[in-house]
Chains A and B, each alone.
Chain A
Amino acid sequence: MSRETSLNSVIGLGLLLVPLWAYWADEPFIITLSTKVAILALAGVGLNIALGLGGLVSFGHAAFFGIGGYAMGILAAHAQTYVPLMEWPFLIDGTKSMPIIWLVAMVVSALVAVLIGALSLRTSGVYFIMITLAFAQMLYYFAISWPAYGGEDGLSIYLRNSFPGLNTLVPIQFFGICYALLMIVIAFSARLARSPFGLALAAARQNEERVETVGMRPYNLRLAAFVISAAITGLAGALYADLNRFVSPTMFSWHMSGEIMVFIILGGVARLYGPVAGAALYIMLEHFLGPISEYWQIYLGALLLLVVLFARGGLIGTLAGREVAHD
């Protein structure tokens, strides 16, 4: 077992044991914080497929996080008011079922990502960063100015959505759902990185010319990566909305895009557990420094600067050393 694998197990296990301890010690708030870490990490794992593996610095992943959130908000709002989503040409009711909400969140995020990706991927570098940001901002202002679903005030959902066989209102059970999804997606992401697709995508990140010379199109590979990445971040958005039982346009804001990116940079770009480590660190900083100062993010900024200047591999890179090429 390599050092990174052991480190990953420690992080993965830690994220499971902390809420279990909190459950035993009757500290529901810690469970909620852990759930938040799991969900934000999931969003980061999604972005990491585009950013880490594909080298696509998307500064607009809040678009998909928000779409996931609104997929949950809209479906659940219709379900709680018993007003169908649409009646013509066919009837679509709202739903309180998590699996259906997740599916909708992922599919809609993926479809929007096809559109955003197809246009954005014609550019690269700074232009790609800016155009993805612009798309996310468009959705942000659209959400603000759409009164049907709360506009600027957002949308409250009174009861958490349901999952067959579980009581999602019990914090530890909802944590279990989020943690399980995170683990499934991490396993998927690990397989993806080693697959023929992952190999070609990673090659396109390093050397576009090389990939073309062996007869594969970088654009197509990147678009697929962007769409997969968006679907995962959309799933995280739906869970995040369910955690808060509230959706608002802030989920679409560029701060959110930045936050997801910060998780990855803190934890380690292209590292499997990088977003988990980064999200955990972020939430811990917020939790411990938040009460000290309203401006706790100044410390986050300093930390981020240190990581970028002295520890390019992030937390995982610093502790586990340079990434070994897997075979």
Chain B
Amino acid sequence: MTDLVLETKGISKSFGALKASNNISLDLRVGEIHALIGPNGAGKSTLIKQIAGGLTPDSGSVHFLGEDVTTLDRVARARKGLGRTFQISSLAMDFTVLQNVVLGAQGAKGSPWHFFRNAMKDKRLLDIAWNALERVGLQDQAKVRTADLSHGQRRQLEVAVALTLSPKAFLMDEPMAGMGAAGSAQLTTFLENLRTEAPILLVEHDMDAVFALADRISVLVYGEIIASGTADEIRRDPQVQKAYLGEESL
């Protein structure tokens, strides 16, 4: 299976008596968007942390580009090409928008070990940074202090920073969270095309976006994957309807 980019093999994680992840096997293939959905408290964040490298699973393993990365921390996984965005925007708030993307470009393509040259005049990094800003439509906000951005713009910047890394896979934790309908639709269109660059493991609450985008959907409930399949299969799955989509008619 050469088109496997990211894979978890039976990972489990407990906090005391709570099984936050119970034997989860999940994979992400070239060119696809794999959405992970589940009600609040299902263990999505715990799973994301184990994939990104903030948490080590109690058992099982995480593989990225055919390599076992279970013991690597998130810096090492980021360097291998795992581009992550956060559920709650995690940016350098005192920086300008441009500084945030240059930081990303520097992490991916440069090195912080230069003490004399001007980081904000490095043509190579600026090219990558501007390109990322233009792709998410933030180029007019480049000089704005990040703390002064609207919530939706911060979400866009999160994605832009991930783009500067030119990752081999994206790990997006609720990129649409708190976005307005227009912003959400715009980002949906953007992610639609992004999958050809690198596959996306998408955790999202916005069901319209999930069903519009995802090639495959996995449903996580109480730390277990109860169903996995195409959008249609998930819609029809009685277990999913009972556990999660119950009240809504889909």
Contact = CB atoms under 8 A, between A and B. Distances in A.
A195 B117 CA distance: 5
Interface residues on A, range: 20 to 34
Contacts of A207: 90-93
Given A213-B74, A221-B112, A196 B95 contact: no
Contacts of A198: 115, 119
A197 B91 contact: no
Report which residue of A192, A206, A215 has the largest number of chain B beta carbons within 10 angstroms of its beta carbon.
A215
A196 B111 contact: yes
Interface string A213-243: 1111100010000000000000000000000
A196 B114 contact: yes
Interface in B92-111: 92-96, 98-100, 102-104, 106-108, 110-111
B95 A203 contact: yes
Contacts of B99: 199, 325, 327
Contact of A195 (B74, B91, B95, B118): B118
B213 to A, nearest CB: 23
B86 interface: yes
Contacts of A201: 112
Given A194-B119, A327-B96, A210 B106 contact: no
A93 interface: no
A214 B116 contact: no
A203 B102 CA distance: 11
A221 B96 CA distance: 21
A210 B164 CA distance: 13
B91 A215 contact: no
B62 to A, nearest CB: 16
- Interface core residue of B93, B111, B119 (most chain A CB under 10 Å): B119
B75 interface: yes
Contacts of B161: 210, 213-214
A26 interface: no
B63 interface: no
A213 B78 contact: yes
A233 B104 CA distance: 32
Nearest to A323: B94
A199 B161 CA distance: 15
Nearest to A221: B112
Contacts of B108: 214-215
Nearest to B73: A212
Interface residues of B, number: 41
Contacts, number: 108
Given A207-B90, A215-B75, A200 B103 contact: yes
B120 A200 contact: no
B116 A199 contact: no
Contacts of A221: 112
B75 A216 contact: yes
A27 interface: no
Contact of A209 (B90, B96, B112, B164): B90
B165 interface: yes
B139 to A, nearest CB: 14
Contacts of A105: none
A191 B117 CA distance: 7
Contacts of A211: 103, 107
A80 B107 CA distance: 52
A168 to B, nearest CB: 30
Contact of B75 (A194, A195, A217, A326): A217
A214 to B, nearest CB: 3
A199 B103 contact: yes
A241 B46 CA distance: 56
A214 B82 CA distance: 9
B143 interface: yes
A222 B100 CA distance: 19
B145 A325 contact: yes
A327 B145 CA distance: 12
A202 interface: yes
A325 B120 CA distance: 11
Contacts of B74: 212-213
A191 B116 contact: yes
A115 B79 CA distance: 28
A215 B117 CA distance: 20
B131 to A, nearest CB: 16
B127 to A, nearest CB: 15
B55 to A, nearest CB: 13
A206 B102 CA distance: 15
Interface string A163-192: 000000000000000000000000000011
13 contacts: A192-B115, A192-B116, A195-B114, A195-B116, A196-B106, A196-B113, A196-B114, A200-B103, A202-B92, A210-B100, A213-B52, A213-B161, A214-B165
Given A209-B90, A210-B161, A212-B78, 14 more contacts: A191-B118, A192-B116, A194-B120, A195-B119, A196-B106, A196-B110, A196-B111, A196-B113, A212-B73, A213-B78, A215-B108, A216-B75, A325-B145, A327-B99
Interface of A: 191-192, 194-203, 206-207, 209-217, 221, 325-327
6 closest A-B pairs by beta carbon, nearest first, are A214-B107, A200-B112, A215-B78, A215-B79, A206-B92, A196-B119
